Structure 1
Amino acid sequence: MLSYINGALSRSALASGVLQEIRKDIILRNYPPETKLTERVLCLKYSISKTPARQILQQLENEGFVTMLDNGCKKTVEFTENDLDCLYSLRNLLEITAVKMVFEKKLKSYSNMLESFIRLESLSKASREAYFEYDVDFHHSIIEMSGNKYILHAYENIAPILYTMFQISYGIYAEDFFEDDVETHNRLMRSIICESEETCLAEFEKHHASAARNAKAALRKAVAEKK
């Protein structure tokens, strides 16, 4: 797992997996809103020690999935369609701003973007779970090209949630999704290298809008199944 997707938990595969699972369960409402979560609950349920349990709760609080109660316990916060809209609006803002900055640069290095795309293409036929990880990384490489560390830091803060939403959305994708998605990312890459800024920005806007629609459809489906 890419380190920036799990932050302080990246050195522990078990803790990273637990964090992903809990985040996904909160979004899907397997943990209903206002469910109390404590270090002890996490230790017992997921067979982890106190330190990673504390780190997981802190990370979830940083991401807005849990909030602190007066007694020091934490409770889950409902993830709404408005939250989803805000997430994808921020993603679009960050990436569009980064792409504009890339076009302003006289000297550009495409190596990281090309490497990310090659991994993405190969994983589309091998590991579907890892595919989403490198989908996030492909866009990370584009923002990295801007040279703006603050935009990159902001993207890394939302990358874990985007990764989880990609996993959730997988259930509504058609069988040919991965081939089509690789071609979409190929167009994004070519638009940066070969097309005008206007054409490139239009491609990214289109891609982000499609991803947001898929994520919203997946969230609605999950919520409906809970009723």
Structure 2
Amino acid sequence: MDTQRQDVLEDLRAKITTGRLPPGSHLTERGLCAEYAISRTPIRAVLRELADEGLVVVSPNRGVFVAEWTNTDAAEVMSIRALLESHAAGLAAHSRSDSQLEELNRLCDRMDSIAANQADGYRAEIAELNHELHLLILESAASPRLFNIAKDLALAPLMSGSFQYYSPDELHRSLQDHRMIVDAITQRDEHRARALMEGHLRTSYAALTRRR
């Protein structure tokens, strides 16, 4: 894939998974071509890939829209995420490298700093870093099959913009959860890492469903 097309794909994926493009948003080829200064052929390829990932849906005679999720969809995916990512956190407690620990702590530091400063768009920025942290924990589990199964669920659009819905206390709690999970992984405490990750995801989902 050429660099420009890859850049457009990653930018649109980030906008969808962080809620900057909310569920139901209409994406037009003409608008995207103008926004990214790129021709229609690569835009169509990007939209096909986003559709394959479940991030957009193609509606005949209507166009392309950011995917929407029912409550049943959301509950099912979050239940599976809690199972897979808690397992990954337990594996990461044994398999993580020093460089991965360093990056996990850097991500926690960065999110804390952004939350403290509260510059414009800070919640969307935290959401992107949150995705990075969850994906890095999956990577740290050193299980390629688990990573390939779980990575798309970690980016599922049901969590789009979740940090936009959090109260200040809920946001603070979520960032504290990250710290405790990373600490358990650092200490090679498999059971605590599993329990903390499962609790983190289930609590985050409960907070989201109360406010959506």
Which residue of 1 is the match for residue 139 of structure 2?
144
Q: Given residue 84 of structure 1, which amino acid in structure 2 is its aligned partner? A: A
| Equivalent residues in 2 for 1:135-214, closer than 5 Å | 135-161=130-156, 165-167=159-161, 169-194=162-187, 196-214=189-207
Q: Which runs of 5+ in 1 are unaligned?
A: 1-6, 32-36, 222-227
Contact map agreement 2:18 2:160 (CA 8 A) in 1:
no
Which residue of 1 is the match for residue 108 of structure 2?
117
Cα deviation, 1:135-175, whole Å, max 9, x if unaligned, reads: 1111222111111223223343234335x7251x3343213
Distance 1:214 1:51, change over 3 A: farther
- 1:217 and 1:45 map into 2 onto residues whose CA distance is 33
- Select 1:80's aligned residue among 70, 77, 83: 70
Question: What is the SS of the residue equivalent to 2:155?
Answer: helix
- 1:81 and 1:144 map into 2 onto residues whose CA distance is 29
Contact map agreement 2:14 2:128 (CA 8 A) in 1:
no
Contact map agreement 1:117 1:185 (CA 8 A) in 2:
yes
Structure 1 residue 9, shift from structure 2 partner: 5.1
- 1:22 and 1:95 map into 2 onto residues whose CA distance is 18
Contact map agreement 1:19 1:56 (CA 8 A) in 2:
no
Contact map agreement 1:124 1:182 (CA 8 A) in 2:
no
Which residue of 2 is the match for residue 100 of structure 1?
90
Cα deviation, 1:51-99, whole Å, max 9, x if unaligned, reads: 3431342133213331575x9x866565211221232223223212212
Determine if the alignment matches structure 1 residue 50 to structure 2 residue 40: yes
Structure 1 residue 190, shift from structure 2 partner: 1.5
Q: Given residue 134 of structure 1, which amino acid in structure 2 is its aligned partner? A: L
Distance 1:19 1:54, change over 3 A: farther
Which residue of 2 is the match for residue 11 of structure 1?
7
Contact map agreement 1:18 1:46 (CA 8 A) in 2:
no
Structure 1 residue 131, shift from structure 2 partner: 0.8
Distance 1:25 1:120, change over 3 A: closer
Question: What is the SS of the residue equivalent to 1:66?
Answer: strand
RMSD: 3.6
TM-score with structure 1 setting the length: 0.68
- 2:18 and 2:43 map into 1 onto residues whose CA distance is 13
Cα deviation, 1:153-200, whole Å, max 9, x if unaligned, reads: 3343234335x7251x33432133433322221111112223742232
Contact map agreement 1:121 1:182 (CA 8 A) in 2:
yes
Q: Which runs of 5+ in 2 are unaligned?
A: none
- 1:131 and 1:23 map into 2 onto residues whose CA distance is 9
Question: What is the SS of the residue equivalent to 1:170?
Answer: helix
Q: Given residue 159 of structure 2, which amino acid in structure 1 is its aligned partner? A: M
Distance 1:197 1:25, change over 3 A: closer
Question: What is the SS of the residue equivalent to 1:141?
Answer: helix
